[in-house]
Amino acid sequence: MANPLFDTLFAAHAGKKSVFLHLADGSTRSYDAFLGQVARFANALAAMGLEPGDRLAAQIDKSPEALAVYGACVQAGVVFLPLNTAYTAEEVSYFVENSGARVFLCDGARSENLKAVADKAGARLETLNANGTGSFFDLSAVQPDHFKTVDRDGDDLAAFLYTSGTTGRSKGAMLTQTNLLSNAQTLAKAWRFNSDDVLLHALPIFHTHGLFVATNITLVAGGSIIFLPKFDLDAMFGWMPRATTMMGVPTFYTRLLGDARLTAEAVAHMRLFVSGSAPLLAETHREFTDRTGHAILERYGMTETNMNTSNPYEGERLAGTVGFPLPGIELVITDPATGRELPQGEIGQIEVRGPNVFKGYWQMPEKTAEELRENGFFITGDLGLIDDRGYVQIVGRNKDLIISGGYNIYPKEIELLLDDQPGVLESAVIGVPHPDFGESVIGVLVAKDGDTIDSDAIKAAIGSSLARFKQPQRLVVVNELPRNAMGKVQKAQLRETYKGTFAK
Ligand code: MCA
Ligand code: AMP
């Protein structure tokens, strides 16, 4: 037996003195030092009594140690559950409880606030701070830097990533070792990653993009990462001359384009720019090529599937498309009503099948059955077509979802909160174009008969429950919501009405 994910991504680099991480302060972390930290953390997990298959939830800032927690979970066979650092205690509480996490790692500054969350869920609370210190680090400091890797099968779970649903209730997507490993290997090959690559990494590491796509690919290739705490234009331009590749959400690209420092000379050392997590406007793609000579490579993925399609490394990277299905991954367009496959060129729902597709939603067999067909095809909820050259185009969504700056926001979750506010009869939450975030959130409210709505009071009230990035940028009060003959709220009409709200 072995542990395919750990053996390939981590153990393969044992003893290497070469740089794995370049840090913002100019220091570096070698592969060897990083793996020592991983092993000490894995020993600490075992010392706490965690067993293979147990879950560890982590709401911690981006740091080399945070990345080492991921490695330690893989080595110890523990299922890693990273959480957005913007989530409120109320939001986190659901994930920790629902996953049955035995350990919950948080930042020391938030531990007082989150103690009740851990206690309620029966999880052990430990801290890990952005500078690498904390009670979990202390536990690990006395541990040896060798750990006997726990045997795992490709079908065993490696991570849970929560993704919201149209009902407003988040679902834990169960990702196996094979899901993560197959995708990392496929992408490393497709995008020609090698040990000389230096990836400019400014994404958060609690989502698929920053953790699995960016980090796992670099680990497969044995390259190095410029590991920045967050996206910051000065840091990006400062480090760019030392990087060979960058991955980002469309907001990264529009922000780079908005800065006069983006020139062909500034990116002369780069061989590849990748974009994903949200639609990249064709206009952004073209402007970037005009300014730098680089055609951004756009790809398409999901939490449940990792990456499904990619524009070609060699060959035309077509603006407004997400390229071709990756090797080993099937993609079909089907009729949403019948599930039957549609001819090339017709718009329908996108379904995918392959080793990248997750195992199902944690303890939600009905939800899993609704989206994951018995024949292995996953219904993505995205609408698209395959053009006459085989390029996949995403034309819309069959699910009520807003993507703001690469973060997914499910209107239902916000509507449920708004509907509970004083004076509110009902609400509709929509996404409208935003020059920086791609889309931004607007809440449309209807008052109860004879009541008035205090928008400021509502904004303040929902602030403690809802992560900042999900909060409506604007609340508007209307007499009634537009409905069709069936009584369904016409969100398309609302989006049309408010589309100019954030125009440049
Ligand atoms: C921050 N804020 C936001 C967002 N981010 N508001 C709306 N949408 C956002 N995405 C708010 C904060 O709450 C704060 O509000 C203010 O903006 C400044 O916060 P700061 O942290 O300084 O923000 P920023 O540096 O401007 O961040 C914008 C960002 C960041 C760089 C675009 O959101 C980001 O790194 N996004 C990447 C997300 C990502 O990795 N997605 C991948 C998902 P206030 O001032 O009011 O307090 S994985 C996925 O989707 C699939 C699998 C795939 O295909 O990859
Ligand atoms: P998540 O559930 O956070 O993994 O978000 C996945 C969703 O992001 C997909 O279902 C798409 O709607 C969207 N997405 C990801 N990449 C792209 C892309 N390149 N173009 C358009 N939408 C994308």
Measured CA to CA, the distance from residue 385 to residue 332 in angstroms comes to 9
Cα–Cα nearest to 293, from 319, 263, 318: 263
Q: What is the pLDDT of residues 26-51, one digit of tens each?
A: 999 999 999 999 999 999 999 999 99
Distance 268 CA to ligand 2 centre (A): 29
Q: Of the residues 211, 302, 303, 305, which should be mutated to test ligand 2's pocket, given the most ligand atoms within 8 Å of the CB?
A: 302
**CB atoms < 10 A from the CB of 482, how many?**
16
Contact assessment for residue 43 and residue 149, using Cβ atoms and an 8 Å cutoff: no
Give the closest residue (by CA) to ligand 1 atom 31. Answer: 231
- Token digits for 110? 């938030």
- Cα 52 to chain centroid distance, Å, stands at 24
Q: What is the pLDDT of residues 313-369, one digit of tens each?
A: 999 999 999 999 999 999 999 999 999 999 999 999 999 999 999 999 999 999 999
404 lines ligand 2 (CB under 6 A): no
Give the closest residue (by CA) to ligand 2 atom 9. Answer: 302
Residue listed under structure tokens 């929902």: 462
Report pLDDT for 1.
65
Tell me the ligand closest to 229's alpha carbon.
1
Measured CA to CA, the distance from residue 333 to residue 321 in angstroms comes to 15
Cβ neighbors of 395 (< 8 A, separation 6 or more) are 347, 383, 384, 385
DSSP 153-189: -TTSEEEEEEE--TTS--EEEEEEHHHHHHHHHHHHH
Report pLDDT for 169.
79
Topology of domain 6-10+23-152, CATH: Rossmann fold (3.40.50)
210 lines ligand 1 (CB under 6 A): yes
203 lines ligand 1 (CB under 6 A): yes
**Treating both helix axes as pointing N-terminal to C-terminal, what angle do 411-419 and 455-463 enclose, rounded to 10 degrees?**
120
13 lines ligand 1 (CB under 6 A): no
251 lines ligand 1 (CB under 6 A): yes
Cβ neighbors of 190 (< 8 A, separation 6 or more) are 310, 313, 326, 327
Q: What is the pLDDT of residues 459-498, one digit of tens each?
A: 999 998 999 999 999 999 999 999 998 889 999 999 999 9
Ligand 1: nearest atom to the Cα of 467: 13
Asked if the domains 6-10+23-152 and 402-498 are classified in one and the same CATH topology, the answer is no
Report pLDDT for 122.
98
126 lines ligand 2 (CB under 6 A): no
Measured CA to CA, the distance from residue 104 to residue 116 in angstroms comes to 12
Measured CA to CA, the distance from residue 385 to residue 111 in angstroms comes to 47
Tell me the ligand closest to 209's alpha carbon.
1
Cα–Cα nearest to 264, from 233, 294, 301: 294
Report pLDDT for 13.
98
Distance 447 CA to ligand 1 centre (A): 31
Tell me the ligand closest to 309's alpha carbon.
2
Measured CA to CA, the distance from residue 12 to residue 20 in angstroms comes to 13
Report pLDDT for 504.
77
Q: Whole-model pTM? A: 0.97
Give the closest residue (by CA) to ligand 1 atom 35. Answer: 203
Give the closest residue (by CA) to ligand 1 atom 3. Answer: 469
Q: Domain limits of the chain?
A: 6-10+23-152, 198-397, 402-498
CATH class of segment(s) 198-397:
alpha beta
Distance 285 CA to ligand 1 centre (A): 20
Ligand 1: nearest atom to the Cα of 470: 7
Query: For 198-312, where are the alpha helices, taking DSSP H only?
Result: 208, 217-221, 233-239, 250-257, 282-292
CATH number belonging to the domain at 402-498, selected among 3.40.50.10490, 2.40.50.140, 3.40.50.300, 3.30.300.30: 3.30.300.30
Mean pLDDT by 10 residues, the chain (504 residues): 94 98 98 98 98 98 98 98 97 97 98 97 98 97 97 98 80 98 98 98 98 98 98 98 98 98 97 98 97 98 98 97 98 96 97 98 96 97 97 94 95 95 97 97 96 94 94 96 93 96 89
